[in-house]
């Protein structure tokens, strides 16, 4: 009986666990990235699909638009009152698009998980 009483709080804590999710930036869908065609896709098509970029750099008539999306999932317990930051997982997706004459010349997509 004592074991049962000792186990009940553990069951309660585990039963009320979940994840707290925090995002930053505009979500970058892999399916959308795969539709980018250098020489065909326009600057406006990129903005229509991904929104305003996180940063824009212009050099020698070439524009480099960078999109960054971060998603952090942190285990939480007791209905979100307690979060375990040491077990957090963060995923970062980066899309860099190089544009010249309003047309995509190159692009690079990178996804990393920590």
CATH code of the domain containing 24: 3.30.1450.10
Q: Is residue 43 in a domain?
A: yes
Q: Is residue 29 in a domain?
A: yes
Q: Is residue 36 in a domain?
A: yes
Global pTM?
0.75
pLDDT at residue number 81: 64
Q: Is residue 60 in a domain?
A: yes
Q: Is residue 12 in a domain?
A: no
Closest C-alpha among 9, 32, 38 to residue 98: 38
pLDDT at residue number 109: 97
Q: Is residue 8 in a domain?
A: no
pLDDT at residue number 23: 86
Q: What total number of domains does the chain contain?
A: 1
**C-alpha span between 50 and 33 (Å, rounded):** 9
pLDDT at residue number 75: 82
Q: Is residue 4 in a domain?
A: no
pLDDT at residue number 35: 97
Mean pLDDT computed over every residue of the chain: 86
Range of the domain at 50: 17-113
pLDDT at residue number 5: 53
Q: Is residue 1 in a domain?
A: no
**Please, which pLDDT band fits residue 87 given cuts at 50, 70 and 90?**
confident
pLDDT at residue number 103: 98
């Amino acid at each position: 009986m004592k074991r049962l009483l000792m186990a009940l709080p553990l069951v309660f804590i585990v039963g009320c666990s979940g994840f707290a999710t925090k995002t930053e930036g505009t979500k970058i869908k892999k399916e959308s990235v795969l539709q980018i065609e250098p020489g065909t896709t326009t600057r406006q098509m990129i903005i229509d699909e991904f929104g305003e970029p996180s940063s824009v750099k212009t050099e020698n008539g070439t524009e480099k638009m960078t999109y960054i999306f971060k998603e952090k999932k942190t285990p939480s317990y007791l209905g979100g009152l307690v979060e375990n930051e040491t077990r957090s997982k963060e995923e970062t997706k980066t899309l860099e698009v190089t544009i010249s004459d309003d047309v995509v010349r190159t692009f690079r997509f990178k996804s990393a998980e920590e």
